[in-house]
Chain A
Amino acid sequence: MKARKVKGLDCGAPLGDNAERIVAVRLGELCSFAPRVLDPAEVEGLHDMRIAAKRLRYVLEVTESCFGPYAREARKRVKELQDLLGEIHDCDVLVPKVLRVRAELEPGHPDRPGLRALAADRAARRATLFADFLDLWQQLGRDGFRARLESAIRERPGAGTTVGTAS
């Protein structure tokens, strides 16, 4: 998925102001996947949302100390989201692959039942992960995640303070 272009970046301007523009775009990008991804069959949408989460997480990782304290909390929540979406993606890759290999085996091959069970097990795991993802996404909505991060990126810690990036 191609990242949205961030307009108005200026190499001679303060890091905080540039970072604010980047985070705002990446946050909008992440939130744009709802409500599409509330459908568990939206494999591609969920995959793209994972990439959007990753982009937001990494820009916050570098720049969160330029912003208000909620930016750090937001980065942690985005990582939770990314991890869940990553596990969902792993299942979305694994299940069809297992079924493909099974289909290639001769009808009486001893691994056929095991592979069917493996595919069913991963599909069930995927359903659980998707439910967890929905819970987390709804929780973020209730917590005002988007509005709070939009507010945090307009804050600046005291000028002249040396701060390290997140680790």
Chain B
Amino acid sequence: MAKAAPVELRPEMTFAEAAQRTVAVRARELWEHSEGVLDTGDIERVHDMRVATRRLRAVLEIFAPCFPRKEHKAALREVKRLADALGARRDPDVQLEALAGRDGVGAFVDRVLDEQRAGNDALAGALRHAEGLRERLDRLVAA
């Protein structure tokens, strides 16, 4: 699992300043992990991006009072949507990994492979809409 990028914070800095710095770093981290996530041959990429969405979602929730309510709510909703799409791919990835090399479970593997394909399609769709999220997050940290 990818480690969180460090954020330079001091206990005495204002909550608002910490919010801007932290969300900017976590947003950048998300895009850094978006490379190659549709490749089902390397399931760690989806996992890393999913963890990055969780971290971004967490800091958006932690620092919620520091951002304009409407913009923040919209950004959070879009991050959740992306996280759901990543989850739809990741869950079958994990199940298939657990089944590797096991005999007599082909009917189940076929079912999970179908779910993985559907999850990948959902993720591809979510990634097409992610550019709007990137712009929204940029506006949020610049506000």
Binding site for B on A (CB under 8 A): 3, 9-16, 18-19, 22, 54-55, 58-59, 61-63, 65-66, 90, 93-94, 98, 101-102, 105, 109-111, 113-115, 117-118, 156-157, 159-167
Contacts and interface: CB of A to CB of B under 8 A. Distances in A.
A163 B98 contact: no
Contacts, number: 122
A113 B103 CA distance: 10
A111 B62 CA distance: 48
A41 B13 CA distance: 45
Contact of B107 (A15, A105, A163): A105
B117 to A, nearest CB: 17
A118 B6 contact: no
B107 A115 contact: yes
B105 A59 contact: no
Given A11-B66, A65-B11, 4 more contacts: A58-B55, A62-B9, A159-B12, A165-B22
Contacts of A117: 104
Contacts of A14: 11-15
B11 A16 contact: yes
A18 B18 CA distance: 11
Main secondary structure of the interface of B (DSSP, over half): helix
For the complex of A and B, 5 pairs with smallest distance between CB atoms? A114-B104, A16-B11, A58-B58, A164-B6, A66-B11
Given A59-B62, A162-B8, A111 B94 contact: no
B84 to A, nearest CB: 15
Contacts of B103: 114
Interface string B4-43: 1111111111111111001000000000000000000000
9 contacts: A9-B65, A12-B15, A15-B17, A62-B58, A63-B9, A94-B98, A111-B104, A118-B102, A163-B8
Contact of A58 (B8, B59, B94): B59
Contact of A9 (B12, B15, B17): B15
B9 A65 contact: yes
B105 A111 contact: yes
Nearest to A12: B14
B16 A118 contact: no
Most chain B C-beta atoms within 10 Å of own C-beta, residue among A15, A22, A101? A15
Nearest to B61: A3
A163 B98 CA distance: 40
Contact of A157 (B11, B95, B105): B11
